[in-house]
Amino acid sequence: MKKIVTIFLLISSLNVFATIEIEIQNPVIRLTPPGMTVTAMFLKIINHSNKNLKLVKVTGDFAKTFELHNMEMLDGKMKMRSVESMVLKNKATTELKSGGLHIMIFDLKAPLKEGDYQKLELILDNKAVIEINAKVEKID
């Protein structure tokens, strides 16, 4: 039963990507220790279109606040700060990864469980909404 659901989600996601020419790979949410309500999310976003696009917003029901973050060197230390948008260059892959660009998730409504999927929406500057299912994983 579980397998059928997963396959269906995959097909419906592919349809969305085909229309807007954006491909999402390996969306993962970092598993948090018990009691922690802040985490981060990583993924690869491939812009197959001829236009540069921007990721401007992330939403989801499982947490209260989603922010776009980047890491920067400040006084010799890596610090993260929120950014207004992330450029998705045309015909290129934008990688959100630990130590770089990432999506910050605040105020989780329930503890995350390893292997679970959480639904999110990525919103682009051209108003495209990309629905994704991100897997909760242990990430260093």
| Contact residues for Cu ion, defined by CB under 5 A | 69, 80, 104
Kindly state the smallest distance separating residue 68's Cβ from Cu ion, in Å.
9
How many angstroms separate the Cα of 110 from the Cα of each of 4, 64, 87? Answer: 26, 11, 31
101 within 8 A of 92, measured Cβ to Cβ: no
For Cu ion, the closer CB: 49 or 94? 94
For Cu ion, the closer CB: 30 or 69? 69
CA distance 96 to 94: 7
Kindly state the smallest distance separating residue 40's Cβ from Cu ion, in Å.
6
Kindly state the smallest distance separating residue 128's Cβ from Cu ion, in Å.
24
DSSP state of 26: E
Question: Which residue of the chain is nearest Cu ion when measured via CB?
Answer: 69
For Cu ion, the closer CB: 12 or 98? 98
Which amino acid is located at 88 in the chain?
A: L
